[in-house]
Structure 1
């Protein structure tokens, strides 16, 4: 009996150890999902009726990133958009169209290893990629106070890091997490994920240092990144700040809440903190 019990304990401990090893070595494949997404990868802003420029941004470590610049007539400014972890810029045409309707030019780029961009994704790599986008806009004669940095999901963490390095006109974080280890601890409560995590993306740590006006957008029903993450980020941030609550899931909250509601929330924030600055 004791031998059987010992064998069972050994099997359980071995399975636990294998799960830990899997999570440790497969983190990049779980976090970065460039092949995921429902869009036609050949789609361009022209498919949404938008004029655009196709760009190749060059990072400070000499990688080329695929990007689009979408101008706007009598633009209120420009939005540097950092997309989420799944899919490519081809999956974000609806976002480009909405931001263009709000009167903003938009620069959107694919991280390294995504779409037609060089390299393989990594945390530091995504930070370099966002910096390349910022430097492109500055070289295009946009002043820092004309640039809004906006990020969604994983892209919100990238956007926050960029806003910690520079001072944009404003920062918009959608469906953002406090940090990768915090999310992992909720998904895998029985595993030592904080010890295993090779990624940080610690937005909670950065927000108290950021001085730009902040809008946090988060759904009460988000099944991937709980609403509590958005509230903790809001509480940690400096004034001025606003919170736009949504309803619906992580990937459909904008539509469940209503496009007009979402658009109005963004517009009111931009009117208060970006227009006329």
Structure 2
């Protein structure tokens, strides 16, 4: 083999090896599924929560319905569909919901492969699961999708902000509170892997696109919180999303907040934003 052919072969190996590695393992880089934890069962029972089971192409899925603490006739005025980050579980939201408006109800949604859900996550499968969870909730509450839809708002952190926006897009939801959202998964890949490996991304979450669709709807109202010290998703990404829709989206940069502590640091502010976005009167 001539020298130039050997060099060409080495260059090809140097280029293809990281590409093949990335294509083969990127799901494990993006998603970090965990099983349910024993303490969650006790918390769910204490809050009179219920499992909402449904089936998708990935198998049996389980979401969790948390009723309002306030006793109100009929359906709750606002039901928040909640989506956690890539290493979180749906029931992790229970640490916070008890401090928020007592009129709110919640549907805590896990991704395929997380908690008690079968399968593996992708953007399309997360969309499928969210829509099926909404339909299952309507059955659980003995109501129709048409009666339930105007009561829905979405809440999400990190990867969950992307899941929340996709659910809002699919379900015609116009109210959202987002924490630490990225612009696109390809932009995140550019930060972590650089160019051109970022374009090998197979999980093309695009918050610019979904937010544009949601923000274009009459009556849309969204709030974004982002930590100034976020070491995972830089605050300029959340700011960029908000600046693109100044009439619809309010942006709050939180000093000293990191990626994983922002919700614990500003839970009260998040709760107030949820009440304002929902347009209900706090009791």
Into which bin does the TM-score normalised by the smaller protein fall?
0.7 to 0.9
Q: Extract unaligned runs of 5+ from structure 1.
A: none
Check the 8 A contact 1:46/1:52 in 2, yes or no. Answer: no
Matched ranges for 1:199-214 at <5 A? 199-210=203-214, 211=217, 212-214=220-222
Check the 8 A contact 2:82/2:90 in 1, yes or no. Answer: no
Q: Secondary structure at the match of 2:226?
A: strand
Check the 8 A contact 2:58/2:118 in 1, yes or no. Answer: no
Supply the distance in 1 between the matched residues of 2:203 and 2:85 (Cα, whole angstroms).
Answer: 16
Of 159, 168, 180, the residue aligned with 1:154 is 159
TM-score (norm 1): 0.83
Supply the distance in 2 between the matched residues of 1:145 and 1:218 (Cα, whole angstroms).
Answer: 27
Change (3 A) 1:190 1:216: same
Supply the distance in 1 between the matched residues of 2:179 and 2:243 (Cα, whole angstroms).
Answer: 15
Please give the per-residue CA displacement for 1:145-190, whole angstroms capped at 9, x wherever unaligned: 2111122111111111121122225122221111110111011125
Supply the distance in 2 between the matched residues of 1:232 and 1:245 (Cα, whole angstroms).
Answer: 12
Is 1:55 the equivalent of 2:52? yes
Q: Which residue in 1 is equivalent to 2:262?
A: 253
Q: Which residue in 1 is equivalent to 2:60?
A: 64
Q: Which residue in 1 is equivalent to 2:88?
A: 87
Supply the distance in 1 between the matched residues of 2:197 and 2:268 (Cα, whole angstroms).
Answer: 43
Q: Displacement, 1:201?
A: 0.8
Check the 8 A contact 1:178/1:230 in 2, yes or no. Answer: yes
Check the 8 A contact 1:215/1:241 in 2, yes or no. Answer: yes
Supply the distance in 2 between the matched residues of 1:237 and 1:115 (Cα, whole angstroms).
Answer: 35
Change (3 A) 1:174 1:146: same
Q: Displacement, 1:221?
A: 1.5
Q: Extract unaligned runs of 5+ from structure 2.
A: none
Supply the distance in 2 between the matched residues of 1:174 and 1:258 (Cα, whole angstroms).
Answer: 10
Is 1:32 the equivalent of 2:31? yes
Q: Displacement, 1:19?
A: 1.6
Please give the per-residue CA displacement for 1:56-90, whole angstroms capped at 9, x wherever unaligned: 1233x373211211101234411011222113224
RMSD between aligned residues: 2.7
Please give the per-residue CA displacement for 1:4-32, whole angstroms capped at 9, x wherever unaligned: x9988965763443222211211111111
Please give the per-residue CA displacement for 1:216-272, whole angstroms capped at 9, x wherever unaligned: 1211211111111111111233733222322311000233x44334433433x33xx
TM-score (norm 2): 0.81
Supply the distance in 2 between the matched residues of 1:275 and 1:169 (Cα, whole angstroms).
Answer: 15
